[in-house]
Amino acid sequence: MSDVTAISGAGAREATRKSLRGSALADHPLVQLTMVRFREFMREPEALFWVFIFPILLAAGLGIAFRNRPADVLKIATVAPQLTLSLRQERLLDVQQLPPAAAEEALRTGKAALLVQPGPGDTVVFRYDDTNPEGRTARMLADRAVQRAAGRTDPVASSDELIREPGSRYIAFLLPGLLGMNLMGSAIWGLGFAIVDARRKKLMKRLIATPMPRHYYLLSFIFSRLLLLVIEVGAVLGFGALVFHVPVRGSWLDLAALCVLGSLSFSALGLLIASRAQTIEAASGLMNLVMMPMWIVSGVFFSAQRFPDALQLVIKALPLTALIDALRANMLQAADFSQLAPQLSILGAWLVVCFALALRLFRWR
Amino acid sequence: MPEMGARFALRVSDLRKAYKDVIAVDDVELKVRAGECFGLLGPNGAGKTTTIEICEGLTPSDSGEVEVLGLRWNSDAAKLRQRLGIQLQETQLSEKLTVFETVRLFRSFFRQGPAPSEVIALVQLEEKRNSRVGALSGGQKQRLALACALVGDPDFLFLDEPTTGLDPQARRQLWELIEQFKLAGRTILLTTHYMDEAERLCDRVAIMDHGKVIALGTPRELIASIGAEHVVEFSAGGAERAVETGAMRGIEGVRDVHLENGCVLMHVTELHRAVPALLDELTRQGVPLTELRTHSASLEDVFVALTGRHLRDE
């Protein structure tokens, strides 16, 4: 067959030169490997959901749930008509007059934050749970209403001046946390699953049977990660800026460098996790084991300061804590790199140690 | 000896490889001539894959010498990789990529070779050029794997069980492709546990069992070595007493008689003399014949004669 003769000898050499002239850069193995990574990712609908859609849904959901609303009207209950009249003077209270049994029930089930009862003589008794902030607020408001109705006047006149500062809202605290969590998840999952899958399917062994330089294979993961990073970070920050007006007060260049450093550190961690695992199950168990504690203690949803002081040293040394602290400092406090030295060195240390270990442990088959 | 390097595309001597509890390759010696198609034939677990993967530089050996195209793995690996085409057993290529993207990726690793679309045409996958790998049939996937082995215009092609798990039609199609590459003058080393595949494709065959080469030669030579051209197989299932096989050995032209799963197998030289004599003998013993088959001797029979087992016995 003429096909066959064409493949060997002069015909092949001629064809080679032709294809090389066409697009030398696009046919560089590193470019091809990176493009393949990128395509594989973009053709995986679930991965797209978890990396791009999920963080936005989460930010939207939490942003709406914890949005700063005008001060809530608090529900309270009373049993005496005289008290009801006095309390209704306070606009921030929603007063219900109930029979005694029903009032007790409302307090117990939390439908009323406070129960106001007449005490012996002219006194008033407030019943509420003092660990509930709503109960404490309701008590103060109710007390004020009762005292004013009885004729008290305030010795000092006061007035309110209301502010709505974009950076002081929960969503502004949350968004850097979600960004950090997203960078961790996509780097560890993205690298871990792809590598273990290629090893399990013997695709990795097939690749090292070609002249492909091995470090190109690992580099292609890093490059495709950085490519996706642009979209990922853009989606989360863009959403925050457009919908919730979350500010970026620090330097954009610093922020970009932080995202790259964070992503590289987590990629190294992902590489380490995937360096030996032979099955997807083993790898995903390891990944959850590594990521779960950080989701909880690294300050994604609430400040890491809430954990006991004894744990703070450990929590601060975790890569996600360092990344989120640095992101928050940049976005909310306009901190520059010199102020972020501790966080940057923690991320750098994780990057170097994990990468060095992963290279020693890595199995190609 | 430069002229030896030219004559032999592969030279393996004293090759040994042991895993924890088994000796996978035990003192194997092979010489594959340039331009020949050489087959490693044997049952699963015979050591074929370990042997071929050591030759491919993927598995380190415990001891022994391997020289491929006159080069050695520990000193010339980069040069060798450019000149070999390798198909592994059970590689699953990425399902999300198209045929063209896959071939183009593999092509990018080699300094020289035909354009991706040329190789795709060669393995007759032009119609599937833009299909995802996940949508291909088993035979098409295997042809794509072959394409990935051919992108570097290799001098030496290693094929590990190229047709395992394929339906008969897909196997024949793949055989035709491999035959074309033989015509193009490439050296091929393939492993298989299908004796018909080895008989059809291979110029020479080494039969392996338990990590050793137990026979070596052209398929014709190997079949001739059992000294018989035909195999007669019969059973006397209804008989209350066993057939006396001793008497069978006395029949003219019978070389070997052995029992297997209640059947009697005889290697014979002349079918037209042996069969009537067999029928007479069975009548004399008063044993009713329930089954009688004859076929020309094959590599399978060579393996049975050498080991007492069939190739596909586990």
ipTM, two decimals: 0.83
Rounded to whole angstroms, how far apart are CA atoms A337 and A335?
7
| B149 and B288 housed in the same domain | no
Q: Are strands B84-87 and B63-68 parallel, antiparallel or unpaired?
A: unpaired
Interface of A with B in 108-147 (CB under 8 A): none
Q: Could you tell me which chain A residue has the CA closest to the CA of B109? A: A212
Provide the residue count of chain A.
365
Per residue, the 3-state secondary structure of A71-104, as one string, reads: CCCEEEEECCHHHHHHHCCCCCEEEEECCHHHHH
| B97 and B245 housed in the same domain | no
Interface of A with B in 15-54 (CB under 8 A): 15-16, 18-19, 27-29, 31-33, 36, 39-40, 43-44
Whether residue B180 and residue A44 make contact (CB cut-off 8 A), yes or no, is no
Q: What is the CATH number of the domain that holds B31?
A: 3.40.50.300
Whether residue B108 and residue A29 make contact (CB cut-off 8 A), yes or no, is yes
Instruction: Kindly tell me the sign of the dihedral angle through the C-alpha atoms of B244, B247, B249, B253.
Output: negative
Domain boundary among B168, B193, B219: B219
Q: Which of B94, B124, B143 to mutate to test the interface with A (most CBs of A within 10 A)?
A: B94
How many independent structural domains does chain B possess?
A: 2
Whether residue A3 and residue B122 make contact (CB cut-off 8 A), yes or no, is yes
| Residue A50: other Cβ atoms inside 10 A | 16
- Shortest alpha-carbon distance between residue B137 and chain A (Å): 17
Whether residue A202 and residue B92 make contact (CB cut-off 8 A), yes or no, is yes
In a domain, B310, yes or no: no
pLDDT (tens, 9 = 90+) of chain B, 314 residues, equals 444 445 799 999 999 999 988 899 999 999 999 999 999 998 888 899 999 999 999 999 999 999 999 999 999 999 999 999 999 988 889 999 999 999 999 999 999 999 999 999 989 999 999 999 999 998 999 999 999 999 999 999 999 999 988 888 889 988 998 998 888 888 999 999 888 899 999 999 999 999 999 999 999 899 888 877 888 888 876 655 667 777 888 888 888 887 777 788 888 888 888 888 888 888 888 888 888 888 888 888 888 888 877 776 54
| B148 and B248 housed in the same domain | no
Rounded to whole angstroms, how far apart are CA atoms B6 and A301?
69
User: Which of A5, A16, A210 has its CB closest to that of B81?
Assistant: A210
Closest Cα partner for B127 from B146, B109, B144, B142?
B144
| B149 and B231 housed in the same domain | no
Cα–Cα–Cα angle for A343, A347, A350, rounded to 5 degrees: 140
User: Which of B92, B153, B184 has its CB closest to that of A201?
Assistant: B92
In a domain, B302, yes or no: no
pLDDT in the model for residue B285? 83
Q: Could you tell me which chain B residue has the CA closest to the CA of A41? A: B96
Residue-range domains of chain A with CATH: 29-65+169-361 (no CATH), 74-149 (3.40.190.10)
- Shortest alpha-carbon distance between residue A291 and chain B (Å): 27
User: Which of B81, B112, B152 has its CB closest to that of A13?
Assistant: B112
| B74 and B210 housed in the same domain | yes
In a domain, B10, yes or no: yes
Closest Cα partner for A95 from A110, A85, A105?
A85
Angle between helices A341-361 and A309-317 (to 10 degrees): 60
CA distances, A231 to each of A173, A327, B114 (Å): 21, 17, 36
- Shortest alpha-carbon distance between residue B83 and chain A (Å): 9
In a domain, B311, yes or no: no
User: Which of B105, B148, B153 has its CB closest to that of A36?
Assistant: B105
In a domain, B303, yes or no: no
Q: Are B187 and B9 in contact (CB under 8 A)?
A: yes
In a domain, B306, yes or no: no
Q: Which of B79, B98, B108 to mutate to test the interface with A (most CBs of A within 10 A)?
A: B108
Whether residue B118 and residue A208 make contact (CB cut-off 8 A), yes or no, is no
Whether residue A28 and residue B108 make contact (CB cut-off 8 A), yes or no, is yes
Contacts of A28 in chain B (CB under 8 A): 108
DSSP at B152: T
| B105 and B65 housed in the same domain | yes
DSSP result, B170-232: HHHHHHHHHHHHHHTT-EEEEEES-HHHHHHH-SEEEEEETTEEEEEE-HHHHHHHTT-SEEE
Contacts of A16 in chain B (CB under 8 A): 111-115, 153
| B212 and B246 housed in the same domain | no
pLDDT (tens, 9 = 90+) of chain A, 365 residues, equals 344 444 444 444 444 444 444 467 888 999 999 999 999 988 988 888 887 888 888 888 887 877 766 666 888 999 988 888 888 888 888 898 999 999 999 998 888 989 999 888 888 999 998 888 888 999 999 998 888 888 888 888 888 877 666 557 888 889 999 999 999 999 998 899 999 999 999 999 999 999 999 889 988 998 999 988 998 899 889 988 888 888 899 999 999 999 999 999 999 999 999 999 999 999 999 999 999 999 999 999 888 888 999 899 999 999 999 999 999 999 998 998 899 999 999 999 999 999 999 989 999 87
What 3-state class would DSSP assign to B68?
Answer: strand
Helix (H) or strand (E) holding A117: strand A114-118
Beta strands in chain B (DSSP E): 8-18, 23-33, 37-41, 63-68, 84-87, 156-160, 187-192, 204-209, 212-217, 230-235, 254-260, 263-268, 291-296
CA distances, B209 to each of A285, A349, B50 (Å): 40, 53, 12
Domain boundary among B219, B249, B265: B219
pTM over cut 0.80: no
| B21 and B138 housed in the same domain | yes
Q: What tokens were used for A291?
A: 């990521």
Cα–Cα–Cα angle for A260, A266, A270, rounded to 5 degrees: 135
In a domain, B307, yes or no: no
Closest Cα partner for B304 from B217, B165, B200, B207?
B207
pLDDT in the model for residue B101? 96
Rounded to whole angstroms, how far apart are CA atoms B171 and B163?
6
Interface contact A212, partner B, CB < 8 A = yes
| B144 and B20 housed in the same domain | yes
In a domain, B74, yes or no: yes
| B54 and B166 housed in the same domain | yes
Q: What is the CATH number of the domain that holds B270?
A: 3.30.70.980
| B19 and B130 housed in the same domain | yes
Domain boundary among B157, B188, B219: B219
Q: Are A193 and A281 in contact (CB under 8 A)?
A: no
DSSP at A69: P
Which one-letter amino acid corresponds to residue B277? Answer: A
- Shortest alpha-carbon distance between residue A204 and chain B (Å): 9
**Residue span of the structural domain in which B150 resides:** 2-219
Whether residue B114 and residue A6 make contact (CB cut-off 8 A), yes or no, is yes
| B135 and B6 housed in the same domain | yes
